[in-house]
Amino acid sequence: MAEIAEVADGIYRLSLLRPPRGCVIHFIAGERTSLIETGPAVIIPGLLDSIRQLGYDPAKLDYIFLTHIHLDHAGGVGTFARQFPQVKVFVHPRGARHLVDPSRLIVDTKRAYGEKFEDQYGFILPVSEGQVRTLEDGEVISLGNRELRVIYAPGHCAHQMCFYDSKSEGLFSGDAIAAFGSNILLPGADSDLDAIIETHDKLLRLNPRIAFTSHRGALSDGLSAHIQAVRDNTKNCGDIILEALRAGEEQEQIARKIGSYEKEFIPAEYRLGAEELGNVISWYRNYFKKKGLA
């Protein structure tokens, strides 16, 4: 059963799976009703129940906005859209063709989540081309009594978008400012460090009142300090790792350095676990190699 919470006027957070398996989904009860994300296919029945529990009919849902097409955010969009052909799916132009033909997406998902990801998450089904709409940076979509503005937010992946809600002055931030429980942005296989930092700077200038994050609930108190901290920690840890790699240091030495950085700058509850830390260091290592920096 979903936990449902109204997190701003007309915006409901639906939590159906614990992270990291699934992200939270937001339902916007505008004159035009919308979902931000669908989560993976396995939760679609629960998601439909939640929408009905809120007094809305999924067969009348207008829009699905996807921040990006990773499995935990959008794996179920094909399953949803097939059942409800009236719904329009908004996605970044670079994500659109992978929704219509998910064969590449399925290969990448197997690489990230394992060959048998379907057992846990359900199938990734195609979305019919006629239901997919692409969005440009800065474009505004009217929901009748409120508007969503598209903010391109590359970094976590090249095709990520955030959505700024005029009514709450809130930002649906996807994985742009915090993934899971960390104060370092955990980079993924298709992340770009420079773009992560640029996106943080862009969101700091935007200065939203509240952020509806995909893995950490709503953040309002100290939001800009939080974005600044994630930005700085992500950048500083990258710098520490790059310097260590150039000095020829081993994984263990690098992990100790990041560990002491965390002790100094990151509150205990947001520090990386040993496994995550190892993954992050490996990611930076591959990234700097690919860029020819180390």
Which residues sit at the interface with Zn ion, rule CB under 5 A?
A: 70, 175
User: Across the strands, what pairs with 29?
Assistant: 33
Nearer to Zn ion, 47 or 185 (CB): 185
d(CA 138, CA 209): 18
Q: Determine the residue with CB nearest Zn ion.
A: 70
Cis peptide before 58 (omega within 30 of 0): no
- Cα–Cα separations (whole angstroms), residue 1 to 15, 47, 256: 9, 9, 41
CB-nearer residue toward Zn ion: 155 or 208? 155
Phi, psi of 33 (to 5 degrees): -85, 145
Tell the smallest beta-carbon distance from residue 176 to Zn ion (Å): 10
| Contact residues for 245 (Cβ-Cβ < 8 A; gap 6+) | 254, 284, 285, 288, 294
Query: What is the nearest approach in angstroms of Zn ion to the Cβ of residue 141?
Result: 22
Q: Please state the closest distance from residue 175 (CB atom) to Zn ion, in A.
A: 4
Sign of CA dihedral 148, 149, 151, 152: positive
Report the run of H or E that residue 236 belongs to, with start and end. helix 223-246
Give the nearest distance from C-beta 162 to Zn ion in angstroms: 13
Nearer to Zn ion, 70 or 92 (CB): 70
Would you say 29 or 193 has its CB closer to Zn ion? Answer: 193
**Do 34 and 89 touch, CB atoms closer than 8 A?**
no
Least distance in angstroms from the C-beta of 68 to Zn ion: 6
Closer of 244 and 272 to Zn ion (Cβ): 272
Q: Structure tokens of 278? A: 């190892």
Nearer to Zn ion by Cβ, of 143 and 219: the residue is 219
**Minimum distance between the CB of residue 63 and Zn ion, rounded to whole angstroms?**
20
- DSSP letter at 246 equals H
Q: Judged by CB, which is closer to Zn ion: 190, or 249? A: 190
The DSSP 8-state label assigned to residue 137 in this structure reads T
CB of 75 to Zn ion, least distance (A): 11
Question: Alpha-carbon distance 116 to 113, whole Å?
Answer: 8
Q: What does the alpha-carbon distance between residue 179 and residue 27 come to, in Å, rounded to a whole number?
A: 20
Q: Which residues pair with 218 in a beta bridge?
A: 212
